[in-house]
Structure 1
Amino acid sequence: MVSRLRAVRAYWADAGMCAFLNAVHLRHRVPDGARDRLAEYVAECERLGPEEYYRAAADAPSVPEHAGHWRWPSPVTVGLPRNDHAHVEWFPCARGPAAPTALILHALMSASSIGYIALARRFNARGWNAAFVHLPFHYERRPPGTFNGELAVSPDFVRSGQGLRQAVVELRQVTAALRRAGCPGFGVWGTSYGAWVGGLLALLEPDLRFLVLMTPIADVAHAVWESPALRSVRWGLRRAGIEPELVERHSHLSALGRRVPPTAPDRILLLAGAHDRITPAAGVRRLAAEWGGVPVETLPQGHFGYRLARRAWEWGDGKFW
């Protein structure tokens, strides 16, 4: 009976958020010439490997000496000035850059930063620095007149792709700046969209001490063409004549399962919601298999909930932090 109630509660929680996401995306008209523009973008991307695509063209400024906001012009732009500046909330521990750093990557359209800031302080108490990263189109990067993260995934797939690229490139700037300052290693704590970004970063970074990905976008094709969260986006794509095969041509740069991260498997934890229809648990388990059988756990929640975060902290507490 309890499990049934949890499933029903998870269904309606996810359904409510999906309805909101779809209503928000109805505000966006597909740009004229969207298919041709996407085809040109994909053709350019096909000539690049992940290392080239996600390479930072410039360094981030030096790590701040004190807690606060760390901001600089992004090397990847989408033409929206407020978004085109990287923004990190920096929470150093007592040892400063000499300590390892946890990169905290939030969910799509995250409702509040309160929980992430509390998490950053928990890492500080364990002797870790924490960087709460404002991902493209979110928080301090939210363009005027939009909801938090509204533009991160929309029918404008060139902008969505460039936003994803922005996120990974800026994170590589952060890790490079911290290494220069003496940081000995990093960990990634990502949720949903942030887990997707964190997973892409993990495919490129050799020195992650832990990698926690909760409900990652493990199957991009499912997310775009089947997920209930993107019905409005699909409608826009189909109106523009954008077919799955065209989107798939970008997957060598955006799909997590195309390569295996260099992080040791026992330092990775993938977490899925048993009742998640946005990122189904089967897709997360498949990603775990593609990554060589890394640990994966499924808990009784939908895409939205807090059980996974509590379990992730228990998993790493005393072992990695």
Structure 2
Amino acid sequence: MVAIRKGDAERFIEAPPAHVFLFLVHGSDAGLVRERALRLAERRVDDRRDPFQFVEMNGDAVAADPLTLLDEANTVPLFGGRRALLVETGAKAVAPAVEKLLAAPPRDCSVILTAGALRRDAPLRKLIEGAKDGAAIECSPDSDADVNALIDRTLHEAGLAISSEARALLQAALGEDRLMSRSELQKLLLYMHGRKRIEPTDILEIVAHASKSAADSVMLDAFSGRMRAAGADFDETLAQGGDPTLLISNALRYALSLHRGRIGGGLMTVKRGGFFAVPDSVIEAHLKLWPAPRLAALIETLRAAQGRARAHADMARVEAARALMTIAHGAGR
């Protein structure tokens, strides 16, 4: 098959063709990649929570031994039925394993590969887009229309109304990562329990609460180039039970907001991204310190680090430390 067009992706995922067993879900929105990959798995097995039906595999293992994927895909479930495999490829070269799989397609098993943003000429993307029983779905950050649709769907299901001013504030805080957007909406639903209409003060309360976590000293020190202070804060945060993956996500959210602010939105664009608790002087200093091209490069680095940290929890601390060092070095240029 060919690459699935963005406008057709949701319809395709709801009812993937029966003859397609190999899927590549890739793109810069790691949250949307993960969400769509899991939805595909749910379409192909009876119960995704059943470990005999649904298995997640490590891209390192598949790259190290290409036969591993073929063997797993041809494993017969203990109680029969269909199976699905999910492989987070990361930056690993899994094309040889995929070639073996295409040469000997499994029975009753779907294989879903996830990856970051891939160029059109990337070997894995070309391989799957050219396969008659494969399909590739690209996931880019949500557009304003996508965010509005997500807000409408979520609030409709919860039976909530929202004022136009509150909607504008909410939309400004969402959109760069699907899982982050869903997380923020779930926090809003919990906050609104027992009430029927969302007002601007409700959005500001939720955003301000989130910013107290997102705008901690670890992140701000790193973006200011204070490497030693960021390192000390990092160690203290983890010693108190902090989540290293969350530190990366917070840094990514801040970098995205700074980038939007740097290319024309200014101070208030950054604050509406969930950083109302960060002093204006700090944000203004960061806007001057970080040019848009450097922020764009940092965003890709942080997205990759976030993906690796989610895929390999035991390496999350190392990934977070590296990410903070990268930020601090970038600020010091």
Range into which the TM-score falls when normalised by the shorter chain = under 0.3
Larger Rg: 2
Q: TM-score, normalised by structure 1?
A: 0.24
Higher relative contact order structure (alpha carbons within 8 Å, sequence separation ≥ 6): 1
Q: TM-score, normalised by structure 2?
A: 0.23
